[in-house]
Structures are given as C-alpha cells and as structure tokens.
C-alpha cells in the first residue's frame, strides 16, 4: 500500500542504489566526431541522383518544335478566309487608323 | 572557481549528475553519458557559467536538463547517423554504452509509474525523492515558480501513488 512519502523515498532509494552501480567513472573527454564515409557517400549519391531526376523531368517537360511544326504555324498565320473581302466596307480605313488631334495653338479660329 | 576546482566539484557530483541525466534521457544510458559529456564540456569551456546565485548542484542539474532537451531536439539528426562517434577518449568501464540498465521488479514498477507522469511532474518527483532536493530547489532546476513546482509535486505524487497501486493490483 502506497500511503506516505516514506514509501516513495524507500522505493527511490532502491532505484538510486541500483542505478549507482551503472554510473560510469568521471571523465571529461572531447568527443572526436568524424563523418562516417560510407554514409556520407550514400547521402552524396542520393543527392546527385535526386538532382539528375529533377533535371531530366524538367527537360522532358520542355516543349520543342520541329521545322515542320514551325512551317505549320506559319501557314496557319498566313491563312485568310475566302470571305475576308466582305469585311472590307467603305470607310473601314477610319477604323484602322488613329486620328491625330490637331494642336489647339496651331488652329486659326480656335475651338 | 578555477578549472581544477570546478573539475573536482563536478567529479564529486558525478554520480548524482549521471542519475539526473538518466532521468532526463528516459533511462537511456548511452544518451545520458553523451548528455553528461556535453554538459561537462559546456561548463569547462565556459559556455555555461556558474554565477553562485544558487547551489552548484542545482545549477548543474539545470544545465544537464537544458542539454538533454537540446540533445532530444537534434535526435533526428543523430538517428540519420551522419556523425560517427569515436569513443577513443571516453572512459571504458568494461560495458558498452548501449547496455541496458537492469532493474529489479520493484524498481521496474516504480519506473513504469514515473513514465506515466507528465514531464514536469516526473522531474519534480525525481528531484525531490531521488535527489533529495527541496521543492524550491526543484523549481530552480526546471525553471518554474515555487507555486507551479508545488502543484506539479502534489499532482505527480497522487498520480504516482495511483500508478503504483495499479502495479500492485496486477
């Protein structure tokens, strides 16, 4: 039955005694750390592979046009519909040019 | 306090420091040894300075606690094993660092009970009952107010009592 602090203290005392047997002796050592060569090589290889996969996937997505594609595009751009003449109405040139607003000072009679 | 005196004091407190490091590292002996080494180096290199505002043991335990927390945060990096430890300089007491601590059935039950506590409760309970510190000293170690430490102590005790009763009724 756990009913007081004395019981806790007794149990922790047992734990302390058990663990004190495993305490290493006092020593201050500067750990020498070195990179594990195999693991470093594996990580480097994985990184290179990743970069290659990314480059290849990006390049494969880029659209390239052949000479025949370009020729097709040019012919489509040059095509005019046979009924185009119907759109040429009298005075349509007014719509194709921007009228120049005359300089106010150069006008003799004013506005 | 010069380096020799400091080293002597650390050596005197070493068994208690190791036990506290074990508590901070979830009873993992290898991690506890690493944390303790990091702590000693931090102190001897002057990265952690004792200003005499509290007892040396209280201050040392606080440094161990912080070092263990940092050790846990970078655990994922060590798990990748990018860094290999050269144990050439570390004291060899005839046991491997990975050797598990062997506990009796009674203390194993106590440890299971301790693990069921919230982290702060566990810390206060261990500092009071294992390391014979006062609640005030425990508060200094874990960096909380005395009132907060008292609450953790009380709730931790109740929870541990219940856990041990459950263990006993198994």
Delimiting residues of CATH 1.10.1740.10 domain(s) in chain B: 1-88
Average pLDDT, chain B: 85
Over residues A62-76, the mean pLDDT reads 88
B103-170 topology per CATH: Arc Repressor Mutant, subunit A (1.10.10)
Nearest residue of A to residue B97, measured between CA atoms: A24
Q: Give the ipTM.
A: 0.79
Q: φ, ψ for residue A21 (rounded to 5)?
A: -70, -25
Q: Do B95 and A39 touch (CB under 8 A)?
A: no
Q: Do A24 and B93 touch (CB under 8 A)?
A: yes
Q: pLDDT digit string (tens) for B77-113?
A: 776 665 555 444 444 444 444 445 667 888 889 999 9
- Percentage of chain B surpassing pLDDT 90? 58
Q: pLDDT digit string (tens) for B59-81?
A: 999 999 999 999 988 877 776 66
Delimiting residues of CATH 1.10.10.10 domain(s) in chain B: 103-170
Q: What is the pLDDT of residue B88?
A: 42
What's the gap in Å between the CA of B91 and the closest CA on chain A?
Answer: 6
What's the gap in Å between the CA of B20 and the closest CA on chain A?
Answer: 10
Q: pLDDT digit string (tens) for B103-131?
A: 788 888 999 999 999 999 999 999 999 99
CB B123 within 8 A of CB B141: yes
What's the gap in Å between the CA of A74 and the closest CA on chain B?
Answer: 57
Q: Which residues of B touch A34 (CB under 8 A)?
A: 83-84, 86
Who's near A2: CB < 8 A, 6+ residues apart? A8, B160, B161, B164, B165, B168
Q: pLDDT digit string (tens) for A5-54?
A: 888 999 999 999 988 888 888 888 776 666 667 778 888 999 999 999 99
With cut-offs at 50, 70 and 90, classify the pLDDT of residue A61.
confident
Cα(B49)–Cα(B63) distance, rounded to whole angstroms?
Answer: 10
Portion 20-39 of A in contact with B at CB < 8 A: 20, 22-36, 39
Q: Which residues of B touch A29 (CB under 8 A)?
A: 37, 89-91
With cut-offs at 50, 70 and 90, classify the pLDDT of residue A91.
confident
The predicted model scores a pTM of 0.64
Cα(B160)–Cα(B149) distance, rounded to whole angstroms?
Answer: 16
A47 and chain B: CB distance < 8 Å anywhere?
no
- Of B129, B131, B157, which to mutate for an interface test with A (greatest number of A Cβ within 10 Å)? B129
With cut-offs at 50, 70 and 90, classify the pLDDT of residue A109.
low
CB A11 within 8 A of CB B56: no
Q: Which residues of B touch A39 (CB under 8 A)?
A: 80-82, 84
Q: Do A2 and B168 touch (CB under 8 A)?
A: yes
B111 and chain A: CB distance < 8 Å anywhere?
yes
- Percentage of chain B surpassing pLDDT 70? 84
Q: What is the pLDDT of residue B93?
A: 45
Cα(B161)–Cα(B170) distance, rounded to whole angstroms?
Answer: 14
Q: Looking at per-residue confidence, does A82 or B3 come out higher?
A: A82
- Asked whether the predicted pLDDT for residue A89 surpasses 60, the reply is yes
Q: What is the pLDDT of residue B103?
A: 75
Cα(B55)–Cα(B42) distance, rounded to whole angstroms?
Answer: 18
Q: Looking at per-residue confidence, does B138 or A85 come out higher?
A: B138
Q: What is the pLDDT of residue B85?
A: 52
Q: Architecture of B1-88 per CATH?
A: Orthogonal Bundle (1.10)
With tokens 């602090």, the residue in question is A5
């Amino acid at each position: 039955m756990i009913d007081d602090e004395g019981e806790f203290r007794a149990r922790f005392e047992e734990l302390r005694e058990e663990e004190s047997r495993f305490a290493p002796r006092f020593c201050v050592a500067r750990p020498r750390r070195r990179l594990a060569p195999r693991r470093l090589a594996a990580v480097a290889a994985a990184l290179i592979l990743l970069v290659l996969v990314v480059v290849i996937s990006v390049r494969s997505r880029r659209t390239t046009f052949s000479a025949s594609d370009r020729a097709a595009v040019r012919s489509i751009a040059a095509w005019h519909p046979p009924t185009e003449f119907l759109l040429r109405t009298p005075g349509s040139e007014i719509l194709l040019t921007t009228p120049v607003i005359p300089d106010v000072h150069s006008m003799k009679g004013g506005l | 306090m010069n380096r020799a005196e400091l080293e002597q004091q650390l050596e005197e407190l070493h068994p208690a420091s190791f036990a506290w490091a074990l508590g901070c590292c979830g009873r993992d002996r290898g991690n506890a040894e690493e944390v303790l080494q990091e702590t000693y180096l931090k102190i001897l290199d002057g990265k952690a300075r004792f200003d005499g505002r509290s007892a040396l043991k209280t201050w040392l335990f606080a440094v161990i606690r912080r070092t263990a927390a940092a050790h846990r945060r970078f655990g994922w990096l060590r798990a990748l094993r990018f860094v290999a430890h050269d144990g050439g300089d570390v004291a060899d007491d005839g046991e491997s660092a990975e050797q598990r601590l062997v506990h009796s059935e009674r203390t194993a039950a106590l440890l299971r009970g301790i693990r069921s506590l919230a982290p702060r409760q566990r810390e206060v309970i261990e500092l009071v009952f294992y390391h014979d510190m006062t609640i005030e000293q425990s508060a200094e170690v874990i960096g909380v107010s005395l009132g907060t430490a008292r609450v953790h102590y009380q709730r931790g005790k109740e929870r541990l009592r219940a856990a041990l009763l459950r263990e006993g009724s198994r």
